[in-house]
Amino acid sequence: MSNNTDSIDIDYLAYLARLELSDAEKEKFKNQIGNILGHFKELQEINTDGIEALAHPFPSYNVWAEDEIQQGFTPEEALMNAPEKKDNELVVPQVVE
């Protein structure tokens, strides 16, 4: 089973996924994912010319909602699991300098 880890830029992927990984974790995941992807090489050999991609097994088209006001959350309900809140607002770390 080939282990093609060359194409796996683990630092970049971790950044995209907003995950912070230790060096040991980076090495481990890189190898495991390389192993998994190597196993999937047979997929490349399948002829899929002219075959449409299937995103959903039974697609529904044009699913509309009526333009009617529906019951929503109160601010208290919406914030009930907030790590930090003040005056019905979510408190977050500083974003803008």
Partner 1 sequence: MDKTASDIIFKSCGELEKLLDSKQISSVELLNIFIKRAKETDDRVGAFLTFYEKEALADAEASDKRRAKGEKLSALDGIPVSIKDIISEKGKQLTCASRILKDYVSPYNGTVIEKLKSAGAVLWGRLNMDEFAMGSSTETSAFKKTYNPWNLAKTPGGSSGGSAASVAAGQTPLSLGTDTGGSIRQPASHCGITGLKPTYGLVSRYGLAAFASSLDQIGPFGRSVRDCAVLLKAIAGHDFRDSTSYKVNIPDYAKDLDALPASKTFKIGIPKEYFAEGLSQEIREAVEKAIQFYKKKGCVIQTISLEKVSLAVPTYYIIAPAEASSNLARYDGIRYTHRSKKATNAIDVFAKSRSEGFGDEVKRRIILGTYVLNSGYYDAFYLKAQRVRSLIRAEFMKAFESVDVILTPTVPNVAFNVGEKSSDPLAMYLEDLYTISVNLAGLPGMSLPCGFTKDKLPIGMQLIGKPYEESALLQCAHFFEREHDFHRQHPTL
- Least distance between partner 1 and beta carbon 55 (Å): 6
Q: Do residues 34 and 3 lie in contact, with contact meaning Cβ atoms separated by under 8 Å? A: yes
B/e letters for 66-92, b = 16+ CB within 10 Å, e = fewer, are eeeeeeeeeeeeeeeeeeeeeeeeeee
**Which is nearer to partner 1, 52 or 87 (by Cβ)?**
52
Strand partners for 43: none
- Least distance between partner 1 and beta carbon 8 (Å): 7
Question: Using CA atoms, how far apart are residues 30 and 14, in angstroms rounded to an integer?
Answer: 11
- Least distance between partner 1 and beta carbon 2 (Å): 13
- Provide the binding-site residues for partner 1, judged by CB under 8 A: 7-8, 10, 13-14, 16-21, 25, 29, 32-33, 35-37, 39-40, 42-44, 46, 48, 51-58, 60, 63, 65, 73, 77-78, 80-84, 90, 92-95
